[in-house]
Structure 1
Amino acid sequence: MADVNVTSDMVRRARATSTPNFRVETFSIALFASAISVLRSGFVFGLTSNLYHLPIVAGLYNEPQYRDDGFIQSLRYFASGVWLMLSGVERYVDDVPLLFFVLFFLSRLVSFVGLLCCASLLGVTERRDKIVFSLVVCFTAFLDGYSYAGSGGLFINYFTHSEMANGVALLAIYFAARGRYTTAVIAVGIIFFINAFFAVWLVPPLVLIGIRHLSQRKVTIGQISLRVLIGLVPCVPLGLVVLNGFLANPEFGHPFDLAGFLRQYFPGHVLIDSTSLADIVGLSAVTLIGALALFWPGRPASDLQAAYLGAILVYLIGIAVPFVTASPLILNLHLLRSGTVIHLLAALAIAALATNWLRRDKDAAFLPACLVILFLSFDGWTGLASVLAVLIFALRATVPGPAPSRQRTIGYLVLAMTVLVAYPLAIRSSLNFNRICNEAVAEWTDVGKWARSTPLTAVFLTPRRPELDGRAEVSIADMALDRGGVFEFVSHRRVWVDFKRGGSAMLTPSYYPTWRSRLTDVEGLNSLAERMAYASRNGIGYVIDICQSPEAQSGAVYRTKRLCVYSTDATEPTVRKDASVRGLPPDGRLRSSS
């Protein structure tokens, strides 16, 4: 009888999701949740992968000083529709950081729209439930940053194109689950335009949903085929834009030992045998949490179950592929990175389960729900293990009916601690880290603005990554100074080499020998004197380094709070402390950025 009631309740809720009021309400709640989520994650302009994106936005590959720069020229072939559209947009947009923030917020908004739509398939349809669900998702720790054992972007603190696809992927799953195959295929086409390999990851989950519907006789093969073909029509121009981007690359398909390169560079997206055991355990725990939540007894979630199994299948294929083939084309699908879909569906499932348990007619599960919500905000193994423990205990111990008043009291205390302590602490931690990153970006921006006064052909040697500079301890602030992706964008001056640039070898393998040779040389330099001598030998006009001592700073031609710029030209002035330099008062200290 209970199962009948649950099914009828789900039918009623499914009908409610078709009303215009539901769509407006869902969008409004998603907007609110996105604002909270952005507050939780923060936003920083110019971090990490923006090193690849900002030169595209500035159109640096069209400037004469970059004619022979292998890294910058490789970015012509960055075949994401997002960056093809944004190529050279700096000429028309005065405030690129604001543009990135707007795109960042819209990306997060689409993610919450997708999460709320999928949550409606799990019974989260009432306004109160959608608000609770959204807040739980905002503070789910395993959505913060990157996926385990694959390093796919989730709720990160800077804008990239790949994270734009997260929400659209959830919408594709939702449309397929509702039998709207045409719309689902169009969503996949949009994802292909954003990030081609993400679209490939979605094929097995959507196919398994279709097989599920066929087995339930909800649809015929002919109906699915027709709707898919109709959906493919508007996808063709989107696909052609991206395919043209790939085929325009003269080095597309050239033989390249991609697996060998990745072991030197970053194997995390592709090679399971280079993944840490801690990451593998973390992903296993997330996957188990999602499985328990989706396959919980009495939950009519068959379509999402099929999608979840499809996401796991993609990841398992990704584990096996490097042992079967060395084809760069296949390895470049970054199948381990598809763990992002597992994370998203697991978070969706556990947040929806906890939300359902919080309903007044679920009093017996109220305390487990409160504990799950609290533990989901804990980072790392502690949180994952605690959530699993509560789920396993609830699976064995929770029975229908009212819970003792003592359990409800404890539950409310846990909720109060979550909202008043755990959530504010998570926000404060994020704000502190992002403040440090923003200060570092501000310093690099100031150096870049100063560098605009140097000759157009000037070349800069940037600092080694702080974690490799031989010091016993490295502060978070110094680590943040590794985030120099804005320098070239601001300065329009060439950078000799850095580790992150090696990723462009996947676009143009011909850049690999240059990158490897220069990086090997630079990483062997152990002092400023050695770096200056190396720069002079190679025609590098300026060296940027961490300001190490007052003696070293005295030779700087420009400095910020932690960065010093040195000239290899003996005719350059030895110190520049004039107050006319933005952000640098006469005492040589950097003012705090607004």
Structure 2
Amino acid sequence: MADVNVTSDMIGRDRAVGASNFWVEIFSVAVFASAVSVLRTGFVFGLTNNLYHLPIVAGLYNEPQYADDRFIQSLRYFASGVWLILSGVERYFDNVPLLFLVLFFLSRLLSFVGFLCCASLLGITEQRDRIVFSLILCFVAFLDGYSYAGSGGLFINTFTHSEMANGVALLAIYFAARGRFTAAAIAVGITFFINAFFAVWLVLPLALIGIHFLLQRNMTIGELSSRVLIGLALCLPLAFAVLYGFLANPEFGRPFGIDYADFLRQYFPGHMLIDSMAPSEIVGLLAVTAIGALAFFALRQTAAELRVAYVGAILVYLIGVVVPFVTRSPFILNLHFLRSSTVIHLLAGLAIAALATKWLRRGKDATFLPTCLIVLFLSFDGWGSLAFVVAALVYALRTMESGPAPSYQRATGHLVLAATVFVAYPFAIRTDFNFNRICNEAIEEWGAVGAWARNNTPLNAMFLTPRRPGLDGSEVSTADMALDRASVFEYVSHRRVWIDHKRGGTSMWMPSYYQTWRSRLTDVDGLNSLDERLAYASRNGIGYVIDICQGPDAQSGALYRTKRLCVFSAGASEPTARKDASSVTERSPG
């Protein structure tokens, strides 16, 4: 009996050491991969949805000048646990760009931990293979930016809470595939805390994994239910924090007032309405889905649970296609079902990177050259390159049993790999670097204007910012698009903004804001000259107009200017208020 106990203890210690080594190895590769991925995408502070996040971090809704600003006040009910934690954090940590960069890296790290855990189920278990797998993932073009036909964030160049959910979602799928449903339920609870509708997308894939376990008789329904319930119970505090944020909103459940789909078409239908998608977006998603399906088929000897999850993710998206034709309920449409194409992209990227890693090992087989071409074309953007990947996959699957490849094919394959690593990958990095440089220049200009406004205008000053470029149908340059991103102005200046298009998203949880947003935006979009904008500002009590500098004559009347932005006085009478001298931040007008 003593020998049996000793043996049992040794097995337990070996398992503990093995589990510890697994996580250490996963984490070490994930840190390396995250660094490469961040180098590839770059980081920009203050883009797009940061318009919502930065006022929360600065706690602007607690400042007197925003007491009657419905947009800023609505951000009290922006019910993501991430921003509940970060609310007003600038009072304690004033280097918010550094904070966002750290969180950005941790978010990317979490994604790679999730990818590497799932990859272990597909046979990617050696450290060398994990490194190759991660490098391929870093440069998969359909994981760079936003998902097709749904616009879900993947490897993007700014920090937002939704992208933090990507890694946690992959971990939820991994734990469920391992039969660890308590851990999977906890991961779903954490996902709910980060982004509630992302957690909803996970329900069907995880449920199908559970059904798969039951059908394989690997678990009883009682065992499955008890494990899930324990995990959910442990997550109740996280769920309560988010649900309280929803329920505390005085407009929660209030009728929207107009057809919700009409509002979405006015604002941004890309997360919800399939009939608003460009054909190229739909073709792109079909190609990504086909790549994932073919890769999982080729990996069919491993991790059937991941294939089941992939089917579940596709079904969730198809539900999103149908839902707008069945109901116009804001509550249901706000689940952003089409945005769940994010999960399809993540699992397709996982499968194709794992398959390519395994096939690259077989350097003498007939699959080697097509695999090298797959890795190369995965780094190119567009549905044309995706179509080539699909074709190469089909060809490789047909030649899997053909035996060794001729030496010239192996040599060609190595040349393709060299071109991928030394040409295609640096080109991808440089392309994103150039785009980020343009964005950073625009952010710096807006920061400079914001600093001037905080130093030189009354606390209650109101600003009219430039209208969106391209409203007249003209082609819009990348620089113009970047300069339209005024997300940092209000955060830096602590001064109110009259309206912009992005603020319309507030209507999703604060319906009463819709009429304000729509009427103001319609008025402003109809103004075609600086004189018209100044006259409109004067009529509406807006003290200052920010415009794109048009030339020396226009610039001569500016109160302040940067390289491309000019600030003009509209001559409107505003309430007298002291300048915010107590909290002035010195910034270079650079």
1:367–1:411 Cα contact (<8 Å) kept: yes
Q: Please say if residues 559 and 569 of structure 2, whose CA atoms lie closer than 8 Å, have aligned partners that are also in contact.
A: yes
Q: How does 1:50-65 map to 2 (within 5 A)?
A: 50-65=50-65
Asked if 2 retains the 8 angstrom alpha-carbon contact of 1:17 and 1:120, the reply is no
Match of 2:588 among 559, 583, 588: 583
CA contact (8 A) 1:16 1:125 kept: no
Instruction: Give the letter for the 2:566 counterpart.
Output: C
1:70-469 pair list within 5 angstroms: 70-256=70-256, 257-296=259-298, 298-360=300-362, 363-399=365-401, 401-453=403-455, 454-468=457-471
Aligned with 1:452: secondary structure? helix
User: Is the 2:366–2:399 contact (alpha carbons within 8 Å) kept by the matching residues of 1?
Assistant: no
DSSP-derived class of the 2:567 partner: strand
Q: Given the alignment, which residue of 557, 574, 579 partners 1:555?
A: 557
> Structure 1 CA distance, aligned partners of 2:412 and 2:76?
58
Q: Name which of structure 1's ranges 355-364 and 417-426 shifts more when overlaid on structure 2.
A: 355-364
**Structure 1 residues 297 and 91, CA gap change in structure 2 (3 angstroms):** closer
Judged with a 3 Å threshold, the aligned counterparts in structure 2 of structure 1 residues 122 and 41 are, in CA distance, closer, same or farther, namely same
Q: Distance in 1 between matches of 2:384 and 2:524?
A: 40
* CA drift at 1:233: 1.6
Aligned residues: CA RMSD = 1.7
Cα distance between partner residues in 2 of 1:288 and 1:476: 31
Q: 1:147 to 1:377 in 2, by over 3 A?
A: same
Distance 1:278 1:48 in 2: 23
Whole-Å separation in 1 of the counterparts to 2:474 and 2:282 = 29
Aligned-partner SS, 1:466: coil
Q: Which whole-Å CA distance do the structure 1 matches of 2:203 and 2:402 have between them?
A: 39
Shift of 1:364: 2.7
- Unaligned 5+ segments in structure 2 are 1-14, 575-584
Map Cα deviations across residues 368-422 of structure 1 (whole Å, 9 max, x no partner): 2111100100100122011001011112233253221111101100000000000
Aligned to 1:3: none
* Residues 531, 108 of structure 1: alpha-carbon distance in 2 compared, 3 angstrom cutoff: same
Q: Find the partner of 1:544 among 538, 543, 546.
A: 546
Give yes or no for contact 2:319–2:337 (8 Å, CA) kept in 1.
yes
2:541–2:573 Cα contact (<8 Å) kept = no
Q: Is the 8 A contact 1:81 1:194 kept in 2?
A: yes
Identity %: 75
CA distance in 2 between partners of 1:172 and 1:520 (Å): 44
Contact 1:447 1:560 in 2 (8 A): yes
CA distance in 2, matches of 1:364, 1:438: 46
- Cα deviation for residue 297 of structure 1 reads 6.4
- Once residues 471 and 354 of structure 1 are traced to their aligned partners in structure 2, the CA distance between those partners, rounded to angstroms, is 43
Q: 1:197 to 1:570 in 2, by over 3 A?
A: closer
Distance 1:471 1:553, change over 3 A: farther
Question: How far did residue 22 of structure 1 move?
Answer: 2.4
What residue is the counterpart of 1:12 in the other structure?
none
Per-residue CA distance 1:62-118 (angstroms, 9 max, x = gap): 111111111111111100000111111111111000001111100000000000000
Provide closer, same or farther for how the CA distance between residues 383 and 450 of structure 1 changes in structure 2, counting only shifts above 3 A.
Answer: same
Secondary structure of 2:43's partner? Answer: coil
For the structure 1 residues 400 and 120, does the alpha-carbon distance in structure 2 shift closer, same or farther, using more than 3 Å as the test? farther
Is the aligned partner of 1:532 residue 2:527? no
| CA deviation after TM superposition for structure 1 residue 327, in Å | 1.1
Letter of the 1:467 partner, please give it.
G
Letter in 2 for 1:182: T
- For the residue of structure 2 that corresponds to 1:509, the secondary structure is coil
AA matched with 1:465 = R
Q: State the alpha-carbon separation in 1 of the partners of residues 496 and 202 from structure 2.
A: 39
In 2: Cα distance, 1:248 partner to 1:570 partner: 37
State the 1:200 CA deviation.
0.4
Distance 1:264 1:253 in 2: 21
Deviation at residue 300 of structure 1 after TM alignment? 2.1
Q: Distance in 1 between matches of 2:81 and 2:481?
A: 32
* Distance in structure 2 (CA, Å) of the matches to 1:429 and 1:503: 30
| d(CA) in 2 for partners of 1:519, 1:41 | 33
Q: How far off its partner does 1:556 sit?
A: 0.3
Tell me, in whole angstroms, the C-alpha distance in 1 between the residues paired with 2:544 and 2:559. 9
Amino acid at match of 2:98: L
Pairwise CA distance, 1:230 = 1.1
| Residue number in structure 2 paired with 1:19 | 19
Distance 1:297 1:183 in 2: 25
Q: CA deviation at 1:255?
A: 1.1
SS in structure 1 at match of 2:298 = coil
SS of equivalent to 2:367: helix
8 Å Cα contact 1:136-1:351 kept in structure 2: yes
- Deviation for aligned residue 1:217: 1.2
Return the letter of the residue paired with 2:216.
Q
Residues 319-351 of structure 1: CA distance to partner in whole angstroms, max 9, x if unpaired? 111111111111110000000000000000000
2:11 corresponds to: none
8 Å contact kept, 2:45–2:100? yes
**Which of 506, 513, 518 is the matching residue for 1:504?**
506
Question: Is the CA contact 1:295–1:301 (under 8 Å) kept in the aligned structure 2?
Answer: no
Deviations 1:514-571 (A, max 9, x none): 1111101100100000000100111100000000010000000000000000012399
Alpha-carbon distance in 1 for matches of 2:451, 2:215 = 63
Cα distance in 2 for residues equivalent to 1:581 and 1:392:
59
Conserved 8 A contact 1:17-1:125? no
CA contact (8 A) 1:258 1:506 kept: no
TM-score, with length taken from structure 1: 0.93
1:216 shift after superposition? 1.1
The answer as to 2:496 corresponding to 1:494 is: yes
- The 1:206–1:504 alpha-carbon spacing in structure 2 relative to 1, beyond 3 Å, is same
Q: 1:462 to 1:531 in 2, by over 3 A?
A: same
Q: Which runs of 4+ in 1 moved over 4 A?
A: 15-18
What CA deviation, in whole Å up to 9, does each residue of 1:33-84 have, x standing for no partner?
A: 0011011111000000000111111111111111111111111110000011
Residue 363 of structure 1: SS of its match in structure 2?
A: coil
Aligned-partner Cα distance in 1 for 2:170–2:329:
29
CA distance in 2, matches of 1:566, 1:85: 38
Q: 1:72 to 1:127 in 2, by over 3 A?
A: same
Aligned to 1:4: none
* Paired letter, 1:205: P
Secondary structure at 1:47's aligned position in 2?
coil
Q: 8 Å contact 1:16–1:22 — kept in the other structure?
A: no
Distance change in 2, residues 1:409/1:382 (3 Å): same
SS of match in other structure, 1:460: strand
Q: Which moved more, 1:368-377 or 1:340-349?
A: 368-377
Number of corresponding residues: 563
Whether contact under 8 Å (1:376, 1:383) holds in the other structure is yes
Secondary structure in 2 matching 1:364: coil
**Partner secondary structure for residue 561 of structure 1:** coil
